[in-house]
Amino acid sequence: MTPEFALQYLINALSLGSLYALMALGMAIVFGVLRLVNLAYGELIMVAGYTLFVLNDSPLPWLILAAGAVAMAMVASVLTERIAFRPVRVNSLNAMLITSFAVSTLLQNAALLLVSPRTRAVNVPGVLSQNLDVGGFNVSMANVLTIIVSLGLLFGLNLLLRRTTLGIALRAAADDFPMTRMLGVRADRVIATAFAISGVLAGVVGLFWVARIGSVIPTIGAGPLLIALIATVIGGMSGLSGAIVGGYLLGALTVGMQLLLPQGLLDYRDAFTFAIVILVLLVRPQGLIAGRSAARVG
Amino acid sequence: MGSLLTGVAILIRGHRQLLILIVPIAIFAVVTQLVGGTLLGRIAIAFFINLMVVLSLQIFTGNSGLLSFAHVGFMGIGAYVSAVLTMTPEAKAFAIPDLYPALVPVTLPFIPAVLIGGLVAAVVAAVVTFPIMRLREAASVISTFALLVIIQVILAHWHELTNGPRSLFGLQPYTDLPTAALWGVIFIVVAWVFRHSSIGLRLRASQDSEPAALTIGVNVVRLRWIAFIVSAFIAGFAGGLWAHFVTTFSPRAFYLIETFVAVTMLIVGGPRTVSGAVIGTVIVTAAFQGLRTIENQINLERLLPFQVVGVTEILLAVVLIVVLTVRPGGLIEEREIFSGPGGPLGPDADSAAKAPP
């Protein structure tokens, strides 16, 4: 293995892992407070993608469009919570889960109806397709940016969760929601915040995901949803650090399998990763990084 | 054996409700067969096949309380297995060029092939689901979801059996309305007997309180496993009938959209009851077909300047969310339809077990 190849592999794995970690984190933060596996999570990424598509011809700089896309994903996330999840929250966990399935179907078909079932091209800024020269090695700019933005986001989120009242309430709620409520924290507010953060993360993931593909279709969220599921299960469903670890692990695993598996078996890659998911659930249901379990809010 | 006998005994005592459930459906099938046109006949066949899938989900979810997203995958297994078994060697040479040579000359009659499809689905379920039956809540749901994805990936890549992601074609349209209706009614009885059998009772007890069920010696994991195997058989059987109804299909047919439709039917009707499963299937099939017809008509006559797609799914999703909000137990929640004040098991036997949350 040449050094260039090793560096390439490392950067690919890190960049993919960062993206996966953000996906998993957005899923885990909602799971933490609600015990809800949000199957509509992938559609938030779709919302960000279609916002970019709608703004394709806008003269504004790309960064502002990107901010708009992230904002739309956040709004969509908070709206789904307010309209769909809050009314069924008092019922059962299964009811919430099926609701998220319904929301996912609803948003996907809305995109089908309002835009098109076909792939739509999205403008991607030239920066993302450039290559960077690092000490004689060629490194893709998109990968480097993904890593930098993800790390920045993780750092910022860490600050938010540790230093602000809302963040502390959120962590407390993930730990023991009934107790947190008794101490005077408003459940609705904490849950809405969790969905807002989840939406922002999905939005940022959406930017990079769409930039990688260069287009958007109604089913674009399916891949990220599965990845987020796998990563959270591998890392552990009960803590946020677990989701991050799971994301990076899965990134390394994916790039590694791409490298090592023969083509015939590569077709079955998703089956392999999902078999790993079931195995982890069986052998170590708390995930690799175990947190404390918590009661669900009704 | 004992549990089966109890089930049959209760079935006889409570047979009036079962008849009320079956008779209208049977009349509908007979009338459609005699006077209905081709279109209505096809809708009726689709209804009965959907009904089987929903009943299979009900047997597992309704009794154990665990959601499953994997059942449509088992339907796919049944569809492919039965298809490979009924097709003539000539048809196989065209449709599945990479098929294992040993399977090429095999040509079975229709119903035996469909039964084998169901059995294979049941065996696969028996092998892969035992360990995941001890999972609960999120872990349980994610693992059945993972199972659906795994089955999908395997169906889409096993060229030697399924022709890969491309369509499989050249099946004979064996599935007619009498066959579909007969088996639909048979599986209603099966689901009913299962629910009232001692296995069903113990499972429903475990759904209401798992610790309490464990303390009285209920082997929850094993019973869930049995329920899953029975339901996978029915799903696989339904898949076989469906394959010989549409005659051309690809692995994509057994994925998220179908899962969504089946889950909607079950939840709208009420997952805990057999009558709920039946009524949910009736309502959602009627709504689905009606909306689809309107959608197609709008597109055909160009009433709107753009193509209308997905409205049916959107409205179904809205209905599902509304039902979950307003009536989370579905239309028929706890007690079977028309069960009167006493019900088949004496006063409030079904609802008394439900503990306050």
Pairwise CB contact (< 8 Å): B310 & A112: yes
Tell which of A109, A116, A261, A265 to mutate to test the B interface (max B CBs under 10 Å).
A109
Give the three-state DSSP class for B122. Answer: helix
Helix axes of B38-57 and B256-269: crossing angle, nearest 10 degrees = 80
Pairwise CB contact (< 8 Å): B138 & A229: no
DSSP A296: P
Query: What separation in angstroms does the CA of A94 have from each of A85, A99, A282, B62, B228?
Result: 12, 8, 21, 12, 18
Q: Quote the CA–CA distance of A69 and A220 in Å, as a whole number.
A: 15
Pairwise CB contact (< 8 Å): A278 & B137: no
The answer to whether the beta carbons of residues B13 and B331 sit under 8 Å apart is no
Q: Quote the CA–CA distance of A20 and A14 in Å, as a whole number.
A: 10
Query: For residues B192-218, b (16+ Cβ closer than 10 Å) or e, as one string?
Result: bbbbbbebbbbbbbbbeeeeebeeeeb
Distance from B127 to chain A by nearest Cα, in Å?
14
Average pLDDT over residues A254-272: 79
* Beta carbons within 8 Å of A61's beta carbon, 6+ residues apart: none
**Could you tell me the pTM of the whole model?**
0.86
In 3D, which of B156, B142, B130, B184 has the Cα closest to residue B77?
B156
Can you spell out the DSSP letters for B47-78?
A: HHHHHHHHHHHIIIIIHH----S-HHHHHHHH
- Amino acid B1: pLDDT: 54
Average pLDDT, chain A: 85
Residue B315 sits at the chain A interface (C-beta within 8 Å): no
Pairwise CB contact (< 8 Å): B321 & A102: yes
Contacts of A95 in chain B (CB under 8 A): 324, 328
pLDDT digits (tens, 9 = 90+) for B184-223: 999 999 999 999 899 999 999 998 888 888 888 889 999 9
The answer to whether the beta carbons of residues B280 and B268 sit under 8 Å apart is yes
Predicted confidence (pLDDT) at residue B90 exceeds the cutoff of 50 = yes
Predicted confidence (pLDDT) at residue A85 exceeds the cutoff of 70 = yes
Sequence spans of domains, chain B:
2-255
Contacts of A221 in chain B (CB under 8 A): none
Can you spell out the DSSP letters for A149-215?
A: HHHHHHHHHHHHHHHSHHHHHHHHHHH-HHHHHHTT--HHHHHHHHHHHHHHHHHHHHHHHHHHHSE
Q: Quote the CA–CA distance of A268 and A217 in Å, as a whole number.
A: 23
Nearest to B311 among A102, A113, A274 (CB): A113
Output the CA torsion sign for B37, B40, B44, B46. Answer: positive
Compute how many other C-beta atoms are within 10 angstroms of the C-beta atom of residue A7: 15
User: HEC states along B146-194?
Assistant: HHHHHHHHHHHHCHHHHCCCCCECCCCCCCCHHHHHHHHHHHHHHHHHH
Q: What ipTM describes this predicted complex?
A: 0.84
Compute how many other C-beta atoms are within 10 angstroms of the C-beta atom of residue A61: 10
Distance from B323 to chain A by nearest Cα, in Å?
10
Residue B161 sits at the chain A interface (C-beta within 8 Å): no
Can you spell out the DSSP letters for B300-322?
A: HTT-SSS---SHHHHHHHHHHHH
pLDDT digits (tens, 9 = 90+) for B32-60: 888 878 888 999 999 999 999 999 999 99
Predicted confidence (pLDDT) at residue B11 exceeds the cutoff of 90 = no
Q: Quote the CA–CA distance of A261 and B167 in Å, as a whole number.
A: 27
pLDDT digits (tens, 9 = 90+) for B255-304: 988 998 999 999 999 899 999 999 999 999 998 888 888 888 888 888 77
Average pLDDT, chain B: 86
- Amino acid B7: pLDDT: 64
Nearest to B154 among A84, A103, A271 (CB): A271
Dihedral pair phi/psi, residue B143, rounded to 5°: -70, -35
Pair of tokens at residue B192? 């009913």
In 3D, which of A218, A242, A216, A213 has the Cα closest to residue A230?
A242
